[in-house]
A and B are shown apart, each in its own frame.
Chain A
């Protein structure tokens, strides 16, 4: 088996146009402003502004933290020889599933609203892929995979 030759590989990542440092700066500026306003009103007797400002900033910080946490997430599908490997990086955990290219089937279903979801199926088990792809990307990848897996592959041989 010629495992060293990669026949097909697709990697999908969400876009990230902001660095960790920029994120920190945006949150810091907003926090500084919001907290100083809350402090000023607190000094005037309206201390109830404070908890709301605090809660809101926590939510904001968490939202940015959440996207940063997933900054390195990716999903890849690699076909080499008889192997079809699906790699998923989710936050810090990485999972790898290896299917037999020969047995792998591409499953594409349309959800209401026209969105498509994509699975790879083998031996009765299904693995969803394409979380970071847009709908059209999923369609393209699906058709590319179809040409390289299962019966077609068999036929090609």
Chain B
């Protein structure tokens, strides 16, 4: 009827922001989710370019392209960017987009907090990257050059890049905590009537444990880097033996956060994998409860095993034994998860669209990451693996294969729902195969490099490591370039293409598939009831 819509208001109330202001002020979970995912993709490319520069330098022995200082800056900032600005925001982006849809809520519980949480990220990323630019103008000596671990006293020695990174970490921490609080409140308080915790989609469970872990560990990181800052500038001696401090205390603080961080990044992925498996195996999730309990077990274990990251500092024997056995025990719940994933596929009726391909590749490669992690738990052998390229290969199997490839599976899985268009299956499959193969070409040689005795974070290496480094660099460039297909495919899908149906896939499970694709700006018209 005409009475309603054809009104000409002088706009006292209708102050809808447009353009950039819309994005700055939006409190809509889908807008914010989109911003998180876009930010993550951009940072993924930036972090990738950094490491390609590193791999180019390592293509041959000798220093070709850069000075060792710059090399050290690149590796550290690459890690910080990839972990804090690519992986974590991608997971948060999915949480924003999908949790309200999956839980049957109109939006996240605290929309304004959600907006602030996102808008802390770009300044944080700028703080991380700014020292590179400042150095060009002769201000400071570049970005943080301590690796992402900030080990004192090296970080106490460093230039202004370290201070920038400390503040960046603070902002990223605050952002993560805001995101976590929002996720927790949403999960606990906004579920549709009838959806008990044990009926929640498993993605929500993964995110809930992630949020718990973030809230439990971020203050420790924040405290640690703040102590670093006061050691650097305010004359404290937390990490200085000469003043009664202890450099190892920093490692305890860092890894008390750093180890759970691994699971913070992985749990949302473990949450989304079962959704993809059940969709493409056309079979319900196997062992829902077992998976949820495993999440809990891993979450709890993850905060009591941190010292396995620094076995070589000379911990007392009982501590070594404790951290070794507790670390090994993580393999048990993880094995349950692997069992459940494969059992979900077992006797299904599988098809292999891109998300499923990524998921299967993910299970295999993440499996390698997990198994090498089991080996690393052995204290005596760890003396050899530690800080060698073996470890570099190991954690790329968990964080690139186990993290990023899982996220990519999620992107292909939910992109049609988010945009209302189907992505190009052909390009998606090409992207998968190139990624999976190039990834292995990059990192399998690194296992052997580590065994042969190449330490990580060295800008130049002895001649016996030449061949493997060369192969690894070739792999890395292929891997990097293949991601352009991914970017192109996403842009193409956002801009148009074949219409996606509401269900998108043949038989997906979950409330998000009951909505139109793309879902309306505010999601559930009728309150869904979960039986």
In-complex A–B contact (CB below 8 Å): yes
A59 adjacent to chain B (CB < 8 Å): yes
A150, closest chain B residue (CB): B3
Known contacts A37-B256, A63-B110, A152-B1; decide if A52 and B520 are in contact (CB<8 Å): no
Q: How many Å lie between the Cα of A44 and that of B307 in the bound state?
A: 15
Are A46 and B224 in touch, CB under 8 angstroms? yes
Are A119 and B13 in touch, CB under 8 angstroms? yes
Are A135 and B521 in touch, CB under 8 angstroms? yes
- Tell me which residues across on chain A come within 8 A of B104, comparing CB atoms: 15
Are B215 and A50 in touch, CB under 8 angstroms? no
Are A59 and B253 in touch, CB under 8 angstroms? no
A79 adjacent to chain B (CB < 8 Å): no
Are B16 and A112 in touch, CB under 8 angstroms? yes
Are B13 and A134 in touch, CB under 8 angstroms? no
A22, closest chain B residue (CB): B188
Q: How many Å lie between the Cα of A59 and that of B219 in the bound state?
A: 12
B26 adjacent to chain A (CB < 8 Å): yes
Known contacts A30-B216, A38-B219, A113-B22; decide if A59 and B188 are in contact (CB<8 Å): no
Are B219 and A34 in touch, CB under 8 angstroms? yes
A64 adjacent to chain B (CB < 8 Å): yes
Q: Which of A92-115 contact B (CB under 8 A)?
A: 105-109, 111-115
Smallest beta-carbon distance B231→chain A, Å: 11
B227 adjacent to chain A (CB < 8 Å): yes
B238 adjacent to chain A (CB < 8 Å): yes
Are A34 and B215 in touch, CB under 8 angstroms? yes
B223, closest chain A residue (CB): A49
- Tell me which residues across on chain B come within 8 A of A46, comparing CB atoms: 223-224, 227, 238, 249, 253
Q: How many Å lie between the Cα of A60 and that of B262 in the bound state?
A: 23
Q: How many Å lie between the Cα of A41 and that of B185 in the bound state?
A: 28
Smallest beta-carbon distance B230→chain A, Å: 8
- Tell me which residues across on chain B come within 8 A of A85, comparing CB atoms: none
Q: Which of A18, A136, A143 is the one whose CB lies under 8 Å from B520?
A: A136
A7 adjacent to chain B (CB < 8 Å): no
A86 adjacent to chain B (CB < 8 Å): no
B195 adjacent to chain A (CB < 8 Å): yes
Are A45 and B177 in touch, CB under 8 angstroms? no
B106 adjacent to chain A (CB < 8 Å): yes
Q: Mark B163-180, 1 if CB is under 8 A from A, else 0.
A: 000000000000001100
Smallest beta-carbon distance B523→chain A, Å: 6
Smallest beta-carbon distance B322→chain A, Å: 15
- Tell me which residues across on chain B come within 8 A of A3, comparing CB atoms: none
Are B218 and A56 in touch, CB under 8 angstroms? yes
- Give the dominant DSSP class at A's interface: helix
Interface residues of B (CB under 8 A from A): 1, 3-5, 7, 9, 13-14, 16-18, 22, 26, 28, 31, 104-106, 109-110, 113, 177-178, 181-182, 184-185, 188-193, 195, 212, 215-216, 218-220, 222-224, 226-227, 230, 238, 245-246, 249, 252-253, 256, 303, 520-527
Known contacts A17-B191, A18-B189, A134-B522; decide if A113 and B28 are in contact (CB<8 Å): yes
Known contacts A52-B226, A134-B523, A146-B3; decide if A33 and B189 are in contact (CB<8 Å): no
Beyond known contacts A30-B212, A67-B110, A134-B522: 14 more, CB 8 A cutoff: A15-B190, A17-B193, A30-B216, A34-B219, A41-B252, A41-B253, A44-B252, A46-B249, A46-B253, A49-B220, A51-B223, A55-B219, A105-B3, A135-B521
- Tell me which residues across on chain A come within 8 A of B9, comparing CB atoms: 107, 109
Q: Which of A51, A60, A126, A142 is the one whose CB lies under 8 Å from B4?
A: A142
Q: Mark A43-74, 1 if CB is under 8 A from B, else 0.
A: 01110111111011001100110110000000
Are A49 and B188 in touch, CB under 8 angstroms? no
Q: Which of A48, A59, A113 is the one whose CB lies under 8 Å from B223?
A: A48
Q: How many Å lie between the Cα of A134 and that of B524 in the bound state?
A: 6
Are A56 and B4 in touch, CB under 8 angstroms? no
A11 adjacent to chain B (CB < 8 Å): no
Q: How many Å lie between the Cα of A34 and that of B104 in the bound state?
A: 31
Count chain B CB atoms within 10 A of each CB in A22, A46, A138, A140 and give the residue with the most.
Answer: A46
Known contacts A44-B249, A50-B223, A126-B13; decide if A136 and B525 are in contact (CB<8 Å): yes
Are A56 and B220 in touch, CB under 8 angstroms? no
